[in-house]
Amino acid sequence: IWNHVMAFYGFPGETLDEALETRQFVLENQPVIHSMELFYFVAYRHTPMVRNPEKFGITIHKQEEYDLPLDYYYTLNDPSTLSCMDAMQMCEEFYKNDFHPWAVRVNSREHVFLYISKFGTNQLPQIYAKQPAAVGAAEGVSGLITWPVAHTEGDEGMARVVSHGIS
């Protein structure tokens, strides 16, 4: 059995204490979590939050110059809750300060399932992101090795794609 956690910070109305509670839950349950994606809330097009922003306490800012946006910039109507920028910062701090090999950065949880299916095991060290510096180092997560990709036909294992200047 593979336990994959997908979590995010910054859902409209979430407080800092609630976000820290999410972080603590993940850290306390690390021994039984095989992989994890951590991100921040995004106001995707056609979601209930974008269709009814007042219900979620946000204001959507549509940029008319974009003819087919996938998501929208938003602001909170109640500034006492966790902002999008705060949520982004918390994500970076998680990967910088709390990062462990079990926190994987792949394109999607579906990709994790494909690796499990292909290799038939939950022992998949090749999908775990590797931090180039020690946990908590000043360099942050710049150059973090992220998405595993298949080698060419006949090659064993997987290659990796390195992030582009996340800091």
Distance between CA atoms of 112 and 41, rounded to whole angstroms? 21
Environment class of 108 (CB within 10 Å of its CB; exposed 0-12, middle 13-18, buried 19+): exposed
State the distance between the two ends of the chain, measured CA to CA, in whole angstroms.
34
Query: What pLDDT, on a 0 to 100 scale, did the predictor assign at position 126?
Result: 66
Start-end of H helices in 33-121:
48-51, 84-97, 109-119
Residues with Cβ < 8 Å from 77, sequence gap 6 or more? 54, 57, 58, 59
61-90: per-residue pLDDT in tens?
Answer: 988 787 788 888 899 998 889 998 999 999
Going from the C-alpha of 118 to that of each of 13, 17, 29, 81, 150, the distances in angstroms are 40, 40, 26, 42, 11
Whether the predicted pLDDT of 140 surpasses 60: no
- Of the ranges 22-31, 66-75, 107-116, 131-140, which one carries the lowest mean pLDDT score? 131-140
Average pLDDT over residues 46-74: 89
Element (DSSP H or E) covering residue 23: helix 16-28
What are the phi and psi torsion angles at 17 (to 5°)? Answer: -60, -40
91-113: per-residue pLDDT in tens?
Answer: 888 888 886 666 665 556 677 77
